Structure 1
Amino acid sequence: MMEGIKQSLKIIAGNYQLSDEFNRCLNDLLDQHEGGDFSGLSKLHFQMNGGTLTKSIEEVFNLLELWILFTDIVDDIEDGDESKWGIDGNILLNASTALVSIVLLELEKLEIPYKSEVTRLFCHFLLQAVDGQHHDLMNKITSEEMYIDVVKKKSGSLIALSSTLGAVLATGKYTTMLEMSAHYIAIVAQLKNDYNDLLNLQRDLQVKKRTLPLLYLLQFEDSAFDELRLYYRQQGNATTKICITKQQIVDSGLHVYVHLIQSKYLNLALDLLKEVYPTQNVEIFKQYI
């Protein structure tokens, strides 16, 4: 499915008569985009609201993936992780500007129902995500509550865009319950990513990021994490890197804590979705977590 989306988006980008070199740059970014989940989630909500797919509606879902690619690139630039794209940071920033411009221009051209509301959703939830990213960049999260609030805005807003977009394209409206369920899904997914990062790559640890798993270990009363606390108290970049072993993580009970938080918000999300779709099987939404 994603390959078909990429080919469609390459054709769209090619219609704007950009220079060959810049067009190749955009195509390279599209090739690297893993995506698919956001457009798939949006399409699921569209169909569960009784929507009938047309070529124009399908293009909106494709443009959503281009929007997500744009946000991914900007986030990586801001987080200092742009090297994974294999493109200079300044060129990446320039390309991201082109991507958001293409999306807005294409939305304007499409003949779809509720177009003004669709365009508003793209911009509204982007602004919410940017606000969440600001707090993430400030790196001043000190509690579970603050972490949850930031995730709701940052990644939660993009999942909310996908969810509400599908409903609006089908019916012209959406409920606050649908938006809230998206926020809860985002919390489950973000916790999964943050915990897996700590278990494997530990990139968040090296830059002293305050994810919920790391906050748990920082506040865990055990001398095994004294070095971790000292590392986080040090100003600037540390000269030596730190590592937390998987055994330390297991001994701390972090996996149990993460599982409990995930279960809580997954159940909250499913309960809300059952209210939105009382006659349908909402377990299908688990595939997007």
Structure 2
Amino acid sequence: MIPDIQQQMLRIVDDTIEVEDLKALLKASIADKALENGSWSKITLYTHYMLGGASPHIHRMAAVTELIVLALDIVDDLQDQDHLSKPWMQVQQATALNAVLALLTGAIGELGRLQIRAEGLAAVGKMLARSVNGQQKDISGSPATPDEYVEMTQEKSGSLFRLACYLGCSFLDGNEEKVEQLNQLADCTGLIHQIQNDMKDLIGFDIKSDLIAKKRTLPILYLLKVEDEAFRPFKDYYTGLLPIESLLERKEELVETLHRSGCMEYARVVQSVCVQKAQEIYSELDALSPWKEKLKEVMFGEFLDE
């Protein structure tokens, strides 16, 4: 993370929160986030620059992007009880929830200080609501088909990429067509990254995996659909006929079954189609170099063939 953006995040915390223990948690969480060298603030910056922006306040807007994403990361970890070493997982859940509220409150306050237009605030709220809708579908295990999975993932993950791009456009006028192109690119990018995470998680096959949690990710949906007796334990587990202990007792055997099932190959094919679609959208985007190329690299460059 660019040091100035991290400093802007810390400033917003200081401007928002007075209680010292909560402030300390927020600053520790920001420091932890900075170590990830994530792409969210870069997406906001590169979008702004490639569309000809030169606002002196763009680092402040990028800090808003990071604050919102950090808040949603905390929510995601609380829901999944995952990443237990993170600062927000080392405190009482009530305190972690207050951290989420503080981050969102600080982000909203900063958007006000930056004088973002009313329609801009409405657009940000709509994107966040879209992400929450997708998150709820995810934790409830509602996707029953690949199409429903795609819709859920674009809502949950694609909306965050939309937000990062949109905040980069927020100081600029007359870019409605490009915003729509960026929205499509964001949805493709969210899907590409989520499929990657789903494949990695499935093979992990531990107590915190998507499979054990009965989530319906793309490779799992494929697995549940194929008529093969070798996959019966997975189907029985999802329907409640088989307890979790029976699955874990046969871990090595079932991991091998997963590798032979074709579910990973299926997910990779869908992912490659998404990458191709992202490249098509990107190629049609009229924007300035080198920022356009930098945006491509940070959003989905790692999935392109050398």
Using structure 2 for the length normalisation, give the TM-score.
0.84
Q: Equivalent residue of 2:172, what SS?
A: helix
Counterpart for residue 205 of structure 1: 211
Q: Deviations over 1:132-179 (max 9, x none)?
A: 112112212111000000011111111111122223333353332221
Counterpart for residue 139 of structure 2: 137
Identity of aligned residues (%): 28
Counterpart for residue 45 of structure 1: 47
**Greater RCO (Cα-Cα under 8 Å, separation 6 or more):** 2
Counterpart for residue 32 of structure 2: 32
Q: Deviations over 1:63-104 (max 9, x none)?
A: 110010111112222334474522221111111111111111
1:160, 1:136 → 2: CA distance? 19
Q: Deviations over 1:22-80 (max 9, x none)?
A: 111111222222363111112111111111141x2211001110010111112222334
Per the TM alignment, residue 208 of structure 1 is displaced from its structure 2 partner at its CA by: 0.9
Q: Tell me whether 143-152 or 86-95 shows the greater mean CA deviation.
A: 86-95
Contact 2:74 2:100 in 1 (8 A): yes
Aligned length: 286
Contact 1:181 1:273 in 2 (8 A): yes
Counterpart for residue 12 of structure 1: 12
Per the TM alignment, residue 227 of structure 1 is displaced from its structure 2 partner at its CA by: 0.9
Summarize the Cα distance change of 1:11–1:226 in structure 2 as closer, same or farther, 3 Å threshold. same
| Residue number among 229, 233, 250 corresponding to 2:259 in the alignment | 250
| Residue number among 217, 238, 261 corresponding to 1:232 in the alignment | 238
Contact 2:51 2:287 in 1 (8 A): no
Q: Equivalent residue of 2:171, what SS?
A: helix
- Are residue 100 (structure 1) and residue 104 (structure 2) matched? yes
Structure 1 residue runs of 4 or more that deviate by more than 4 Å after TM superposition: 278-284
Letter in 2 for 1:127: A
Q: Tell me whether 131-140 or 147-156 shows the greater mean CA deviation.
A: 131-140
Contact 2:43 2:164 in 1 (8 A): yes
Per the TM alignment, residue 279 of structure 1 is displaced from its structure 2 partner at its CA by: 7.4
Q: Tell me whether 43-52 or 10-19 shows the greater mean CA deviation.
A: 10-19
Unaligned segments of structure 2, at least 5 residues: 301-306
2:29, 2:242 → 1: CA distance? 32
Contact 2:61 2:168 in 1 (8 A): no
Summarize the Cα distance change of 1:9–1:100 in structure 2 as closer, same or farther, 3 Å threshold. same
Contact 1:167 1:174 in 2 (8 A): no
Q: Equivalent residue of 2:152, what SS?
A: helix
1:141, 1:178 → 2: CA distance? 25
Letter in 2 for 1:168: S
1:49, 1:4 → 2: CA distance? 22
Unaligned segments of structure 1, at least 5 residues: none
Summarize the Cα distance change of 1:221–1:23 in structure 2 as closer, same or farther, 3 Å threshold. same
Per the TM alignment, residue 239 of structure 1 is displaced from its structure 2 partner at its CA by: 4.4
Counterpart for residue 181 of structure 2: 177
Counterpart for residue 195 of structure 2: 191
